[in-house]
Amino acid sequence: MIAVFDSLAPILAAMITAATPLLLAALGEVVTEKSGVLNLGVEGMMLVGAVSGFAVTVTTGSHAMGILMAACAGVVMALIFAFLTLTLLANQVATGLALTLFGTGLSALIGQGFVGTPIPRLPELNLPGLSDLPFIGPILFSHDALVYLGLAMVGAVSWFLYDTRAGLVLRAIGESHEAAHAIGFSVLGIRYLAVMFGGAMAGLAGAYLSLAYTPMWAENMSSGRGWIALALVVFATWKPGRLLLGAWLFGFVSIAELHVQGLGLRVPSQFLSMLPYLATIFVLVLISRDATRIRLNAPACLGKVFHPDA
């Protein structure tokens, strides 16, 4: 057991990096869903973001350009979704799933020329003095820009949703688009922006994977993280703060189970690998027992089609 404690610092540091793509993608989806739109295409957007960011970084040599382009690629994918579901009123669930299929194939296609190409990792920002602190130094102060962006976005999204008028309008649209429209808000316009934001964040999440977490491109490299992100949005009852907790929980258990395997504990690896998923269910049950909390946070119009003119 002492061995586990020794590992605690590295586990926590790894937890933060493992949680970052989940956090980025899920934050984007929170905003999207808060406006009343359910976009299940996160996995596809992440992959397209990952390959675009990677391709641009390889050709320009600049991580910053790669990150920027990844976000743009995510926005483009999201626009396809937005056009189909918001303008053409297509079913959101099926369109999101189609987007995932499309994005997976498209990313594989674009990425064919880039497999097997190594790039330097997105550098860690070593904050002088802070990074050298014992124990918390490596955990909190030795990460790359995207990790810090993810953490900052938790606050930014939370502030936007709950402390700004624009956020209030967005939430209102998610709760009752008919009423919001009657007041005069542009339901479609704001939803378009929300969906695009979700796409940008998913693209950034993908960029983190291909530029920082494992600097390479491989088909399907998101390995289902988009789905976990979607689940975390539900877990967090659409609140950014709780989303951070959920991402850390999932990340922590995922990393810890690897450490436990390495220590040679006599538990079959498959059961250890189940732990992140079981832990998420368990904690969700704990926090869901209060029925009112769920009702108060799920956007009432989530997934519903909005058509202003009769």
Partner 1 sequence: MRRDALPLRLEARATPSAAMVWLTPVLAVGLTLLSGFALFAALGFDPVRVLYGFFVEPVASKRGITELVVKATPLATIAIGLAVAVRANVWNIGAEGQLLMGALTGGGLALVFHGEEGPWLLPAMLVAGMLGGMAWAAIPAFLRTRFNASEILTSLMLVYVGRLLLGFLLNGPLRDPEGFNFPESRLFNPEAMLPMMVPGTRMHLGAVFALLVVGGGWLLLARTFIGFQIKVVGLTPAAAAYAGFNEKRVVWFTLLLSGALAGLAGVMEVAGPIGQITPYISPGYGFTAIIVAFLGRLHPVGILLAALLMALSYLGGDAVQITLGLPQAMTGVFQGMLLFFLLGCDVLVRYRIRRRRAPAQPQPQTAPVTVP
Partner 2 sequence: MNRRTFHKTLAGLAGAAAVLALTAGGTSHASAADKLKVGFVYVGPISDHGYSYQHDLGRQAVVKEFGDKVETTFVENVPEGADAERVVEQLASSGHKLIFTTSFGFMNPTLKVAQRHPEVFFEHATGYKRSANLATYAARFYEGRTVVGLIAGKLTKSNIIGYVASHPIPEVISGINAFTLALREVNPKAEVRVIWVNSWYDPGKEAAAAKALIDQGADVILQHTDSPAPVQAAEERGLWSVGQSSDMTRFGPKSHLTAIVDDWSGYYTARVKAVMDGTWKSQDTWGGFKDKMLYLAPYNPAIPKDVVALAETARQNIIEGKRHPFQGPIKDQSGKEILAQGKTLTDEQILKMDYYVEGVQGQIPR
Site residues (vs partner 2, CB under 8 A): 3, 7, 10-11, 14, 18, 52, 55-56, 59-60, 69, 72-73, 108-118, 121, 209, 213-216, 218-219, 221-223, 225, 254-255, 258-259, 261-266, 268-270, 273
Q: Cα(3)–Cα(235) distance, rounded to whole angstroms? A: 31
Task: Give the footprint of partner 1 on residues 123-162 (CB under 8 A).
Answer: none
Instruction: Report the nearest approach of partner 1 to the CB of residue 118 (Å).
Output: 22
Stretch that binds partner 1, among 19-27, 135-143, 150-158, 274-282 (CB under 8 A): 274-282
Residue 111 or 299 having the CB closest to partner 2 = 111
Residue 54 or 141 having the CB closest to partner 1 = 54
Applying CB under 8 A, among 2, 129, 264, 270 the residue interacting with partner 1 is: 270
Other CB atoms within 10 A of residue 19 CB? 27
Total residues belonging to the chain: 310
DSSP secondary structure letters along 216-277: S--TTTTTTHHHHHHHHHHHTTT-HHHHHHHHHHHHHHHHHHHHHHHTT-SS-HHHHHHHHH
Contact 73, 52 (CB under 8 A): yes
Residue 115 or 168 having the CB closest to partner 1 = 115
φ and ψ at residue 124, rounded to 5 degrees: -75, 140
245 part of the interface to partner 1, by CB under 8 A:
no
**Token pair belonging to 221:** 């490299």
Residue 91 or 261 having the CB closest to partner 2 = 261
Residue (of 192, 185, 184, 182) closest to 166 by Cα position = 185
Which stretches of the chain bind partner 1, using CB under 8 A?
44, 80, 84, 88-91, 93-95, 97-99, 101-106, 108-109, 112, 186, 188-189, 192, 219, 224, 227, 230-231, 234-235, 268, 270-271, 273-274, 277-278, 280-281, 284-285, 288-291, 294, 303-310
